[in-house]
Amino acid sequence: MTNTSTLNSVERACAELLRNGQAVTFTAVSARTGLGRTTLYRDAILRGVIEENRHRAAASGTLTALTDEITTLRAALDTLATSVRRHEEQLRKLTSRNN
């Protein structure tokens, strides 16, 4: 039975490969996760995740890469906006104390 940590690691590796425009292969996933290729082949769940991502990459091409990039950029922008709002609030507090 596949544990959640291992499954998450394989899913993350597949997502990174797709995001970087690299082929999702058992060898590439093995290199990123530290799991042996034999383990990836023999475990039906892990093999299924890899094969699903391989098919997804072939079917969607650059659209998936663009969608992933937009999602990443949105998350980065949200983080930056939160930081800016926090700094603005700190500046307002400092300004109100000095007046």
pLDDT at 32: 96
The residue range of the domain holding 47 is 1-60
Tokens of 44: 């039906």
Share above pLDDT 90 across residues of the chain, in percent, rounded to a whole number: 51
Q: Measuring CA to CA, which residue among 14, 12, 1 is closest to residue 57?
A: 14
Q: How many residues are recorded in the chain?
A: 99
Given this model, what pLDDT does residue 59 score?
A: 62
Asked if 66 and 42 sit in the same domain, the reply is no
- Are 78 and 88 part of one and the same domain? yes
Task: For 78-98, write each residue's pLDDT tens digit.
Answer: 889 999 999 999 999 999 988
The model's pLDDT over 39-55, given as tens digits with 9 standing for 90+, comes to: 999 999 999 999 888 87
35 and 66 within one domain: no
Instruction: Examine the domain organization and report whether 19 and 55 are in the same domain.
Output: yes
Are 61 and 23 in contact by the 8 Å Cβ rule? The answer is no
Q: Are both 89 and 69 inside the same structural domain?
A: yes
The answer to whether the CB of 29 falls within 8 A of the CB of 39 is no
Tally the domains of the chain.
Answer: 2
4 and 43: one domain? Answer: yes
What is the reported pLDDT for 50? 92
- CA 63, CA 8: separation in Å to the nearest integer? 23
**Beta strands in the chain, from DSSP E residues, in sequence order:** none
50 shares its domain with 83: no
Clarify whether residues 21 and 34 are in a common domain: yes
Pair (71, 49) in one structural domain:
no
Q: Residue 46 in contact with residue 10, Cβ under 8 Å?
A: yes
